[in-house]
Amino acid sequence: MGRLFGTDGVRGLANRDITAELALDLSVAAVRVLAEEGELAGHRPTAVVGRDPRASGEFLAAATIAGLASAGVDVFDAGVLPTPAIAFLTAAAGADIGAMLSASHNPMPDNGIKFFSHGGHKLPDATEDAIEARLRGDWERPVGDQVGRVKPFPEGAEQYVAHLLGAIPHRLDGLHVVLDTAHGAASEIAPKAFERAGAQVTLVGAAPDGLNINDGVGSTHLEHLRRMVPEVGADLGLAFDGDADRCLAVDATGAEVDGDQIMAILALDLHERHALAGDTLVATVMSNEGLMQAMTGAGITVMRTDVGDRYVLAEMRRGGFSLGGEQSGHVIMLEHGTTGDGVLTGLMLAARVAATGTTLADLAACMTRLPQCLVNVPGVDKHAVDGHPVVQSAVAQAQRDLAGLGRVLLRKSGTEPVVRVMVEAASPERAQQIAQQLAAVVASELALAPA
């Protein structure tokens, strides 16, 4: 059996993989582990719990709250809020534990649970492993007045909005923004924050009914936003995913502005304000080489990490850096939060447009994306890719053929027998040609033997 915790909590099909029993047991185990690690010593522990609007979140949040309270934790039930809001409120309330029920950009039948420790930080792998090891074990249950109490926490939403508004350096008066909230956790919070910041707001995908989260809307489906922004004459559009920890944008013409371009815009803004710690941006190996070139030209160092916002965050905390993120739209601003925050990212991007009086298209032109081609090669021994002489020779030759005008990257899938071949080049045709050549080498050299 594989590890229960993935790269972002425990996730799967609700009521099959992610059951009420599992949510309750995970919550109890989390309390036990944190108590053993000394995190809960000397005081009555507290927790903040939130969820996205998907229907299964109702019973899973109830089970999570029940587990925490049965383990002697007082619980503040924040209801439907974005994941970064629960991380923020865990820190702001001085709570010992945060719990969020969400499957992010996954379809409605899925759900998941992730935990935050004191300060609103995601749990390290070792703590997650310890929680998994404690599942369904014997334990001494508190009784009487030692059981936890549960309180509604409606004021949490207002505290989070105030936090967002306090972070932006410039109001949005005069801007018209289209928001696609994916029928998700930001459906009420995002329009409230943008309107209070002074923006005129048009909404897409902001009518959650428990069943429609991420259903053809949000950051994985930009087609509605691309059409709507020019149709209503808006200045820009912003799309979030179901739990609102990521943000992508479109400019006034409907053209996409991806996570790399957003990071470039925000990095230059912070750099000009002498607020970019270490004059460094942290990005993953999947970020476009055009981002590297633009940042180098502006005197900004780019640190690359493996794919995953937890690796970006680890590097940011290690080096004391203030800005990092992924091409997918996860952007972390450590001065204001401990995790990617889509609504905050959108507010910061809109504030830059308002402060400069420049269109988003012109701001995004600070970097030129190199054409990129990604080919997945299935049915191969992915673990042999790094040391295989023929494959590595082909990679080296491809890099020489690009003559410094592109990049080659081979990555192992984390969950499948797949190698991902990514090539960036001066033209789409050149990128595709080299990617297909490399994919053919990988397929022939690393093919798995028939079962």
Binding residues for Mg(2+): 104, 241, 243, 245
What is the chain's length?
Answer: 451
Q: Which of 104, 219, 322, 328 is catalytic?
A: 104
DSSP state of 414: S
**What is the DSSP track for 12-61?**
EEBTTTB-HHHHHHHHHHHHHHHHHTTTTTTS--EEEEEE-S-THHHHHH
User: 109 Cβ partners below 8 Å, 6+ apart?
Assistant: 13, 14, 56
Asked whether the beta carbons of 290 and 331 are under 8 A apart, the reply is no
Asked whether the beta carbons of 295 and 267 are under 8 A apart, the reply is yes
**Helix 189-196, helix 155-167: angle, nearest 10:** 40
Which parts are annotated binding residues? 104, 241, 243, 245
Phi-psi label, residue 295: left if phi above 0, alpha if psi -120 to 50, beta otherwise: alpha
Asked whether the beta carbons of 254 and 196 are under 8 A apart, the reply is no
Residues 111 and 22: their CA atoms lie apart, in Å, by 12
Asked whether the beta carbons of 411 and 285 are under 8 A apart, the reply is yes
Residue 102 annotated in active site: no
**Helix 342-356, helix 189-196: angle, nearest 10:** 20
- Phi, psi angles (nearest 5°) of residue 114: -130, 150
User: 143 Cβ partners below 8 Å, 6+ apart?
Assistant: none
DSSP state of 197: T
User: 91 Cβ partners below 8 Å, 6+ apart?
Assistant: 118, 119, 120, 338
Active-site residues, by number, are 104
